[in-house]
Structure 1
């Protein structure tokens, strides 16, 4: 077998670890947090591609499922897939859900995600100043709140089956509403920017278990109004859709028949939505 020289070995390693289904990278901005990607062949060919960020749920393993589940979509739509990994217990206190609410100790997860996107854009020579975001379950929490905080960064958003929702409600504080957004996050609610983002929401009509999503007084994320959006995930997502539409947002709502809390069974709906948005974006 021919021995590879240094440059040949470097190129081979790059093709294995940096393209296609990549290795796991630590964030340079915060090495406690990680990411993995699908990078389509178009990038190695020097072409520009779009970006989809897909955010895992509480178990974190869906980061791999989303990377692989969207790979074919990325291949045929010239779209890279970036899946952050926000570990459980990142501060050593056993917390599972900090990333869902954007803040945990000294971590601002929204800022870290933006830094991840910027870091990978520089690595691959891409312009990802705007990207799409999708999340399911715990990731649906994240995509809901990131869309409210940073609509100017997005060309599309898909929010899947979040356990709790943040409404664009100026009469309630975060995380139920947006009244104190500027004081808390340093930027006001940008209604006009949000109204420009095509938004997709998806949940199964059989996703009815409420044991994990009912906030109880005294629990970590309890606040007045925590359960007001509804008792089940479909009810809460419908409330969010109505609130977004009331804020001028174009919302596509998919209530998927016969599906419970199953992330894989809704991905086809997400891909259909994103494909349509991409076609309009590129035509424009």
Structure 2
């Protein structure tokens, strides 16, 4: 009798757009991926691009936006999901500042990355990171904490920035960083990471970032700029003053829309991936 080979019902969900998987280190956190469908366990590992969501937690939408990029540029896309309301109901900002109520989100991302490397045949010694808005806040602070794990970082339109200034308290600046996070900022390592900063040219609404007295407010943040464009310019100036090269992209006609800066971010990432492959 002739036999037919049926698809592996389990393995089929480990290629293409995957389900969200619970992190095995902290099952309150999860992640999804896009893995090119022709990628096999015995192939060379593919580079990893992490796209960090913002306040709206639109991780699935970002994963889908990056699907074609993964296919064309031979990489795996990872979109972590750090839910709102951890520990405290309704809390929105936890991951943006790396630590919240004993949860170290920089460490949790690294646990997820290592888990993905073990299960999905992707390179994890270093990876690429992009985040927009709240994700941009996380991305530049993650750069301070773990530059040695980054092959490139794209910082998109953060509403609140942390300047490389030890005279300012965390999170306005990096005062007490080593005591808080257990490692000093390795500026030489930071300088080795290719950096993009990106923001829409019309990203000038202030209702969300001028919320005096809000849970994510510190007096002094207003001095970094009135709009997200101005605040990102302040961050760039500080990076340049510390010898950190920055590609600075202002996307004309775009407001605070992470999906609309993706083509410029992908251009940056594609260049880095092409250099890696050369």
TM-score by length of 1: 0.92
CA RMSD for the aligned pairs? 1.7
The reply on whether 1:279 has 2:243 as its aligned counterpart is: no
Q: Which residue of 1 aligns with 2:52?
A: 55
1:47: Cα distance to partner?
2.4
Gaps of 5+ in 1: none
Q: Map residues 63-78 of structure 1 onto 2, 5 A cutoff.
A: 63-78=59-74
Partner residue in 2 for 1:244: 239
Secondary structure at 2:34's aligned position in 1? strand
Q: Write out per-residue CA displacement over residues 135-154 of structure 1, whole angstroms, 9 at most, x where no aligned residue.
A: 01111111111111111110
Q: 5+ residue gaps in structure 2?
A: none
Aligned to 1:227: 222
Contact 2:22 2:31 in 1 (8 A): yes
Alignment check: 8 A CA contact 2:48 2:77 kept: yes
The answer to whether 1:127 aligns with 2:123 is: yes
| Among candidates 43, 47, 70, match of residue 46 of structure 1 | 43
CA distance in 2, matches of 1:167, 1:43: 40
In the TM superposition, residue 13 of structure 1 has moved relative to its aligned partner by 2.5
Q: Note the 1:149-164 alignment, pairs <5 A.
A: 149-164=145-160
TM-score by length of 2: 0.94
Rounded to whole Å, the distance in 1 between the matches of 2:82 and 2:3 is 40
Deviations 1:228-256, CA, capped at 9 Å, x for gaps:
21010000011111111112111111111
Farther off after superposition, 123-132 or 150-159 = 123-132
In the alignment, is residue 181 of structure 1 matched against residue 173 of structure 2? no
Q: Does 1:136 align with 2:132?
A: yes
Q: How far apart are 1:260 and its partner, in Å?
A: 0.7
